[in-house]
Amino acid sequence: MKIAGTTMSALVAGLAMASVVTAAVNTSSFTLDGEGWTGISSVAQVASGGAVDNGGYLAISRANADPIGEAIAGTDGGAFVGNLQTTYGEGGAADGLTISLYYRDFSTGTAQASPRYLAIMFSSGSNDNFLINPGTYPVNPPAVVKDEWRQMSLEIKFDWTDVQASAAGWNHNGSGSLTWAQVMENVTRFRVQSWDDLTGNGLNQVLGVDEVTFASVPEPMGLALLGLGGLAALRRRR
């Protein structure tokens, strides 16, 4: 039996490859259109000259304290809603979700002198929201920089309890009673929100959002298998 030789090496390499292939990644690059994103009580349109690929970005003119944009179930933005634990975590090669996006402040007028704050929100139904505000929680970077594309990213672990989620900066700010896990199992809206700290100046704010990405975070076992696969390949070369 040649279990410890090439056959076993190929099996390990295959398992490592499978762990990588099953990882889910979805990105809105806004190269051609809004890709299922809409504005709420605000104007949202695709403009040219985005981040990374310079193809395009979603420009949102804010109205009062309304969210700048959101993905809605049933549209092309459906990859950002639904059962996110199943899509990006449970039963596959991942146990978490990384959210990343690029943003740029195109504001005009006096409002540009005040800091811009971003928030990420997951909603399930109309009464349950889990919100993280990077303006008060140290994710990188916390505030929008004028006339410069910046990237923001954060990671969610799907095995978090509500207490752990709140401790990590996520807060339940709805009137409903769903838990963190229940919301993540049935996300009906994923929002990126923005505001400034000068009351009444929000109408001058124009924010560009680009390359919004959801990506699975590989489990430690998947990474270990990947390493074993590399060792197996080296053994075969010898």
Contact 29, 101 (CB under 8 A): no
Which SS3 state, helix, strand or coil, does residue 121 take?
A: strand
Q: In this predicted model, what pLDDT tens digit does every residue of 155-179 receive, in sequence order?
A: 888 877 777 788 778 888 888 889 8
Q: How far apart are CA 49 and CA 58, in angstroms?
A: 10
Q: In this predicted model, what pLDDT tens digit does every residue of 26-80 receive, in sequence order?
A: 999 999 888 888 888 778 899 999 999 899 999 988 766 667 778 776 556 788 9
- Least confident range from 87-91, 103-107, 136-140: namely 136-140
Q: How confident is the model at residue 165, as a pLDDT?
A: 81
CA distances from 211 to 78, 140, 215 (A): 16, 16, 12
Fold of 24-218: Jelly Rolls (2.60.120)
